[in-house]
Structure 1
Amino acid sequence: MPPKVFASQACRACRRLKRKCTREVPACALCYRLGKTCEYAETAASESTISSRLSHIEQLLQVEGVSPSRAFTGISAAAFFPRPAEAFPLPFFLDSEYLTSQSVNALSWSRHPYIHQIVAEHLDDDRVTLCEHYLSTVHKWLPMISRKRLFNEVNSDATEVDGCLAIFLLSMKALSAKDGECAKSSSWYLLARTLCSEAESAGFVSLRLVQALVLLSVYEMSHAIYPCAYSTLGRASRLGVLLGLHDRKNNQLFKPAETWTMREEQRRTWWAIFLLDRLMNIETNLPSTVPEPVKDELLPINDEDWDEGKIVPSEPLFTTSFSSLTAVGSFAKMCQAAHMLSKVLSHRASKRSTQDVGSLLPEALALHSALSALHLSIKEYISGTTSSSSSISGIISLSLCCSAQLVLYNMYGCNEPLALVEQSRIAMETEMQSVSLQGIKSISCNVMPAIARANIECPLMAQCLYHVATECAWFVREDHEPQMYSALEDVVRELRSTGANWNLATQYLSLLQQGGVLDLVNVDTDASTTVTSSSG
């Protein structure tokens, strides 16, 4: 049975009688029942317009030889992309003096149910089941979604919720599927990416659309689909800035969210974007697309209270001490680690652009002290938590902190002098070199192998695991230390385990193979056997 076609507004009869109209074409339910001619002030889109629009979408899907019919199976030519119920306020860009702030949902709601019809063909599973699966997996790494608000929307009428909810659910489906080698050609992924582009072009500016783009960027990062991941996250960041997620107190376009839950979800979504951006830029010299946190930015509340829908106080990002009345959760610690990583990346950029390296040494030692304190705090949190989900996100936080430390330590751990600096700076240089070498060895030999043995299989940790594998290989080639052989085995084993579902880890393994690192270890045999044979 072909999907029903709906008009953009109520028919003339229902509007005159002030009755709720089903807006079905060619006749609404009331007119059909009464045997009357159903007239709409605004006729449905012509077949030629619809066919032209669908043809455009199909062209967008011709990626990697994928057939559009495969991705759009069961979608009728009667479906076309709607626009938000409200038009974008042009004075925002043309002359802000004439701007009137919009409600937070002004550009997210649509009278048309077409997006939901398109997506319904691809969401065979029960939507509640899909959400539960996502919350029990990916949500543990990146807990930006409000469980309470999500289920309220899923169980509501499609015309009463964020118009991009269906696209968000499709992105959730793609990320939960773990397509592995077929990631680029996944029909869920291709359709979600296309619908996100269509929604942006149509003028939607909504939290669900931003979150859909965040999930797509996680999918693309996790399967090494570059440069798509970089551009997708940039789009999420731009839309987030329009929504005022980066600085909610000074947002001119939208009024503040009416509920505490919505405001906290906005905050967590922006932190997720910030975290992913800094993680993605560890190996690049590209400018960041996500601004630094504002001075009065708050950390996310602890994750247990968040998932239970409780309203509790938040801790500030910039503080000299934390309140004894609140608990800083694992996602908040992940955000702290991302913030420290951002500071280290900024320090690295400064080091590359200055000749006076000695002037940066005090800042480098300060970053080392702050990262060491955060590292210890995260380890204490992990050892003290009884929640498995908090333990998982806590371990990911520790991995992100280790990434920041390794970037810092690799700048100063080299045996060669940093630069021709004043004699008074030599002692500080030697001190930084010493702590850097000790830090690299401790992370490579003890911390990350223990994380690898936890077997979380999270793609957000793949970069750190790869970095540690190269460090272990350096120590093995230098000293043939048995502990380093064992550490390398643990790390490579976790990368291979992660690579079964996420192509990013497989790509890192390929790089390790090119560098001869995999020749140093045999993960298919017992560690002691490998160490003995290598030592002999």
Structure 2
Amino acid sequence: MPPKVYASQACRACRRLKRKCTREVPTCALCYRLGKNCEYAETAASDSTISTRLSHIEQILHVDGVSPSRSLPGISPAAFFPRPAEAFPLPFFLDSEYLSPQGLNSLSWSQNPQLHQVVAEHLDDDRVALCEEYLKTVHKWLPIVSRKRLLNELNSDPAEVDGCLAIFLLCIKAFSTKDGECAKTSSWYLLARSLCSEAESAGFVSLRLVQSLVLLAVYELSHAIYPGAYLTLGRASRLGILLGIHDRKNNQLFKPAETWTLREEQRRTSWAIFLLDRLMNIETNLPFTVPEPVQDELLPINDEDWDEGKIVPSEPLFTLSFSSLTAVGSFAKMCQAAHMLGKVLSHRASKRSLQDVGSLLPEAVALHSALSALHLSIKEYISGTTSSDFSISGIISLSLCCSAQLLLYNMYGCNEPLVLIEQSRIAMETEMQSVSLHGIKSISFDVMPAIARANIECPLITQCLYHVATECAWFVREDHEPQMYSALEDVVRELKSTGEKWRIAMEYLALLQQAGVLSLITVDTDGSSTLTPSSG
């Protein structure tokens, strides 16, 4: 007969009735006799009570026949999760004088059959086919992975590859969840998120783990899982900084990458984190998670050479002109647009903190000129490319550029004086207002509707589509131009089409519904549309 377990204090019912409690777990004698529920305070919970509650939580979290206890044997996966090949060097945080740079793989290479068995239960047998499907879809928006290196790892001895490769494959598998309603409860997503957390706790610091977190953040952004997406990206950024992918010169923890391909993959992963961070901060006033690029930062190589595994030169981010011997690819254009978006976000923060807007007008004019030049460059790239794959990321880069332009123009397009103190209106302010109004109308009437008609159904452009829909609605209510009705229809139709795969688009549509924008038009499911003029 097992020994009785006693709580450290009386149950809630006995304390309320001021009765003597036998403190037996799970039910005291009085509650047992009266047939009442016996509850103890949280601080008095015994091991058996905790075990019972954890079992109940596992039942609640049970998804598609997969529960935490089945996916991760025992209450916590930490009990079997492998450790890196070496322990994290504490002098990195305690006293850098005693720190020696680590081998790049010292905190990543580790194998555990139990972990791989758990992951294998949730993956298809053909992992090469899984990766090929990923390279045909999400990779087209965010080409951060080396096809050559990934396929080599899949065909290598498991003991010779990054221990976090299995988690990375699980994150890829999560994107097979098409229904936005079940995205939060997808077994692949929940297991990948849990394993990423355990890998961080175990001390892993590797490129595959950083990329796993990036994919999780993209998944969460695409399905409007907030604040999860913001927090996950912050973890990816911190881990990337530890890995040294944001600033190679000041990296203290690891030795430099030994191959050109690995170095370029690190650079692309760093740029992806930067891009996502700036995209997520468009509507917030939160500090950036990712620092600005260093002065000698390079852009990714062109995407065609990258996918073919070629070694070619890279162009710098900060330059007066590009070499005629290289081609700046669509992902590099996305990085340039994200960099300009970050500049505009910083300008907005400065404008909010200053009363004298006149001192910021020269910077605003310079940002307008730089964005206009980038906009033209991206449009020329899209019109000149022959590959539909690269035009997708080209369209995303144009959308990011438009987001930056709309942010800037909305700051200076108001009819009222921009200054908050009594002073005369200067000519540059009027000129910037004129430029802003023209830019907002051009993007809303011409550029974004054309992007919408391309029908790429990418969650990374939904924010810009939403912003343009609000601008179109403003013009519709102002002067009822038929062309602006048509532009609004195109944008809303693309949001509805994208919403069939990615919940973020449906959330933006809900906001448009709340603002009364959708009442201005009717877009049917068959693609047809009718005008609904407002009463003015």
TM over 0.5: yes
Q: Within 5 Å, which residues of 2 pair with 1:429-448?
A: 429-448=429-448
Paired residue type of 2:182: C
Q: Deviations over 1:306-364 (max 9, x none)?
A: 00000000000000000000000000000000000000000000000001111000000
Return the alpha-carbon distance in structure 2 between the equivalents of residues 272 and 189 of structure 1.
20
How many angstroms apart in 1 are the aligned matches of 2:111 and 2:52? 24
Q: CA–CA distance in 2 between the matches of 1:419 and 1:82?
A: 59
Structure 1 CA distance for aligned equivalents of residues 55 and 126 of structure 2: 27
**Structure 1 315/380 Cα, relative in aligned 2: closer, same or farther at 3 Å?**
same
Say whether 1:473 aligns with 2:473: yes
Q: CA deviation at 1:103?
A: 1.1
Partner SS, residue 328 of structure 1: coil
Pairs within 5 Å for 1:206-245: 206-245=206-245
Match in the other structure for 2:107? 107
SS of residue in 2 equivalent to 1:522: strand
Residue 491 (structure 2) pairs with residue 491 (structure 1):
yes
8 Å CA contact 1:248–1:256 kept in 2: the answer is: yes
* 2: CA distance, partners of 1:363 / 1:74: 54
Look up the SS of the partner of 1:248 in the other structure: coil
Paired amino acid for 1:224: A
1:70 shift after superposition: 3.9
Please give the residue correspondences for 1:456-467 in structure 2 after superposition, counting only pairs within 5 Å: 456-467=456-467
Q: Which residue of 2 aligns with 1:261?
A: 261
Instruction: Please give the alpha-carbon distance, in whole angstroms, between the structure 2 residues aligned to 1:150 and 1:458.
Output: 24
Q: Measure the CA separation in 1 of the matches of 2:476 and 2:527.
A: 14
Aligned to 2:292: 292
- Aligned partners of 1:244 and 1:254 also within 8 Å: yes
Do residues 142 (structure 1) and 181 (structure 2) align?
no
Aligned to 2:18: none
Measured against aligned partners, the alpha-carbon deviations of 1:245-285 in whole angstroms (never above 9, x if no partner) come to 10012211000000000000000000000000000000000
Matches of residues 159-174 of structure 1 in structure 2 within 5 Å? 159-174=159-174
1-side partners of 2:232 and 2:73: how far apart? Answer: 28
Show structure 1 runs of 5+ residues with no match.
1-53
Question: 1:486 & 1:368 partners in 2: Cα distance?
Answer: 27
1:64 Cα deviation (Å)? Answer: 6.5
Q: For 1:89-108, what aligned pairs fall within 5 Å after superposition?
A: 89-108=89-108
Give me the TM-score of the superposition, normalised by structure 2.
0.86
Q: For structure 2, list consecutive stretches of 5 or more residues without a partner in the other structure.
A: 1-50
Structure 2: distance between partners of 1:103 and 1:56 = 43
More divergent stretch after superposition (177-186 vs 96-105)? 177-186
Q: CA deviation at 1:382?
A: 0.2
Alpha carbons of structure 1 residues 253 and 185: separation in structure 2 relative to 1, 3 Å: same
Alignment length (residue pairs): 486
The whole-number CA distance in structure 1 between the counterparts of 2:146 and 2:476 is 46
SS in structure 2 of the partner of residue 182 of structure 1:
helix
- Any idea what SS the aligned residue of 2:286 has? coil
Cα distance in 2, alignment partners of residues 64 and 481 from structure 1: 52
Distance 2:246 2:407 in 1: 26
1:151-183 per-position Cα deviation (integer Å, ceiling 9, x unaligned): 011111221100000000000110243231100
Quote the residue 1:199 is aligned against.
199
Query: Aligned partner of 2:360: which letter?
Result: L
Q: How far apart are 1:524 and its partner, in Å?
A: 1.7
2:514 is aligned with 1:514? yes
Distance in 2, matches of 1:328 and 1:61, equals 50
Cα distance in 1 for partners of 2:352, 2:253 equals 38
Query: Percent identity of the aligned residues?
Result: 82
Distance (whole Å) between structure 2 residues aligned to residue 396 and residue 100 of structure 1: 42
Task: Assess, with a 3 A threshold, how the Cα gap between structure 1 residues 60 and 262 changes in structure 2: closer, same or farther.
Answer: farther
Q: Which amino acid aligns with 1:512?
A: L
Superposition pairs of residues 105-504 of structure 1, within 5 angstroms: 105-419=105-419, 426-504=426-504
Contact kept? 2:146, 2:309, Cα under 8 Å: yes
- Cα displacement string for residues 85-115 of structure 1 (whole angstroms, at most 9, x for unaligned residues): 1100111111111111011111011142332
CA distance 1:204–1:500, shift in 2 (3 Å): same
Greater displacement, 167-176 / 341-350: 167-176
Amino acid in the other structure paired with 1:229 = A
Residue identity opposite 1:85 in structure 2? A
- Partners of 2:58 and 2:69 within 8 A in 1: no
Determine if contact 2:521/2:533 at 8 Å carries over to the other structure.
no
Q: What is the deviation of 1:533?
A: 6.6
Q: Distance between the aligned counterparts of 1:404 and 1:496, measured in 2?
A: 24
Contact 2:178–2:502 (Cα < 8 Å) also in 1: yes
Cα offset, 1:234, TM superposition? 0.2
Shift of 1:435: 0.5
Deviates more, 1:176-185 or 1:460-469: 176-185
Per the TM alignment, residue 424 of structure 1 is displaced from its structure 2 partner at its CA by 7.5
SS in 2 for 1:359: helix
Amino acid at match of 1:477: R
